[in-house]
């Protein structure tokens, strides 16, 4: 057993996120296991760029309301207690609703992330909150 003390959240790379998003590594196992857990907080309107992972990603919403979208599918609203399974190779983005912040744990099982273009304001406006 190993205790991982409370982490500090730091600003993320603005090339991969929109808004003043903060993140910190909760757990990073050795590279052979490939397990990484991040706590990420998004301000209202904050979000990731489009990206995919070479391994599975699981998102667990802790508080607030957020959005997630797989390329070619509708934007889904997520909230506290929701879990999202993102298969390896699925191009997607996730972040907060326009009017509320959101915090989630991102569990990455193996592999790495490949970052792509930012989510445009037009793409973001297609979310359920805009209707």
Range of the domain at 54: 10-130
Number of separate domains in the chain: 1
Q: Give pTM, 2 decimals.
A: 0.90
Is 5 within the bounds of a domain? Answer: no
Is 2 within the bounds of a domain? Answer: no
Is 4 within the bounds of a domain? Answer: no
DSSP symbol at 27: E
Q: Calculate the alpha carbon distances from 9 to 12, 20, 44, 112 in Å.
A: 9, 11, 17, 20
Is 24 within the bounds of a domain? Answer: yes
CATH number at residue 28: 2.60.120.10
Is 120 within the bounds of a domain? Answer: yes
Is 1 within the bounds of a domain? Answer: no
Is 103 within the bounds of a domain? Answer: yes
Is 34 within the bounds of a domain? Answer: yes
Span 34-62, pLDDT tens digits = 788 999 999 999 999 999 999 999 999 99
β-strands 66-70, 17-18: how paired? unpaired
On the question of pLDDT at 129 being above 70, the answer is: no
pLDDT reported for residue 95: 98
pLDDT reported for residue 33: 64
Distance CA 112, CA 90 (A): 13
Q: How many helices (H) and strands (E) does the chain have?
A: 1, 13
pLDDT reported for residue 131: 47
């Amino acid at each position: 057993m190993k205790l991982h003390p409370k982490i500090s959240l730091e600003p993320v790379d603005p090339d991969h996120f929109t808004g003043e998003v903060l993140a910190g590594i909760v757990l990073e196992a050795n590279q052979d296991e490939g397990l990484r857990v991040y706590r990420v907080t998004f301000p209202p309107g904050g979000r990731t760029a489009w990206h995919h992972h070479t391994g599975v990603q699981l998102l667990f919403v802790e508080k607030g309301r957020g959005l997630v979208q797989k390329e070619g599918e509708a934007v889904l609203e997520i909230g506290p207690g929701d879990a999202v399974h993102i298969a390896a190779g699925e191009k997607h983005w996730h972040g907060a609703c326009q009017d509320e912040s959101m915090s989630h744990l991102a569990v990455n099982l193996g592999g790495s992330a490949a970052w792509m273009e930012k989510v445009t304001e037009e793409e973001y406006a297609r979310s359920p909150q805009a209707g």
